[in-house]
Amino acid sequence: MATLTYIEAISKGLWEEMERDPSVFLLGEDIGKFGGAFKVTKGFIQHFGEDRVIDTVLAETAILGAATGAAVVGMRPVAEMQFADFVTTGFSQLVNNTASIHYRWHVPCPMVVRLPSGAGIHGGPFHSRNPESWFFHQPGFKIVAPSFPYDAKGLIKAAVRDNNPVLYLEHKRLYRHIKGEVPDTDYIVEIGKGVVRREGTDISVITYGSTVHQALEAAEQLTHEGISIEVVDLLSLMPLDVELILNSARKTGKVLIAHEDNITGGIGGEISAIISEQAFEFLDAPIKRLGALDIPTPYSPPLEEFFLPNTKKMFAALKELAAY
């Protein structure tokens, strides 16, 4: 067992999978000699060589197209988008080709797309996207979003071993802010299963990624006011752990769905619909959502703080639900 940061856990998981399986290789911009924009792959090229750690041209379409082709012929590529925002230039490859290959050809497409996502780093509108809802709508993908180092390592290993294309959302704000105990032994975190981070009886917070930590902070603050908050960390967005979501909603009767992505068209709307359709009779209040404002991510730190969900907003939303 070792105490690792979120980013160290991702790096360790990748390293172990490359040691375990020679068909695993990495490709992306500046991931080799430079070690990646955030240093996730620092030292990889020296150990695994240029054939397995490939510095690519600045062309996301080429990266994703090459990864898809390699996956179809039996390799297990891990493609890094330097920032999740840049996946838009390779959108057609992913949505029109990668996602539908198994449906069209009945062959596996075992590839991972690493997406450094999220705001809170003052990156402005081109380096702060949370792109999950774009791909959530497209059949054929699995989508994961770890919030703690243990899950970051376990999910990257599970993603590499999966025979489907997996989009791996890694939140940049969490990279060096979050630490946790991570086993040295080989393990995976099952894709499609979430966890209850905190047991509660009054309100459920259904969330993932960065907002998990805000929910836990707000829940702790609300204990002093006699309000018991349950925090559900989805971990996997596609497939969703619907049973976990419904069990929590039925248990507490009040639900707040939180994510950093923009509120309109976000995954929270789909989760709300699932609860409304399958657990409506258990609800004691309207389902509430918390997300980013429907504007591009501001560069200015005060404006970015105003734009994003945070612990203070989470606390206020939960207080409102408690009083309903």
213 counts as catalytic: no
Helix (H) or strand (E) holding 135: helix 132-136
Determine contact, residues 311/214, Cβ cutoff 8 Å: yes
Reference 133, options 264, 241, 294; nearest CA is 264
Instruction: Tell me the C-alpha distance between 15 and 157, whole Å.
Output: 10
Q: Are 192 and 141 in contact (CB under 8 A)?
A: no
Q: Dihedral of the CA atoms 62, 68, 70, 72 (nearest 10)? A: -150
Separation of alpha carbons 287 and 302, rounded Å: 29
The phi and psi torsions of 49 (rounded to 5 degrees) equal 90, 165
Interatomic CA distance for residues 172 and 83, integer angstroms:
9
Where do the H-state alpha helices sit in 51-92? Answer: 60-72, 91-92
Give the separation between CA 140 and CA 103, rounded to whole angstroms: 8
Distance CA 211, CA 217 (A): 10
Catalytic residue among 122, 127, 171, 224: 127
> Which of 199, 208, 204, 198 is CA-nearest to residue 279?
204
> Residue 16 and residue 288: Cα distance in Å, rounded?
41
Structure tokens at 222: 């609300």
| Residues noted as catalytic | 127
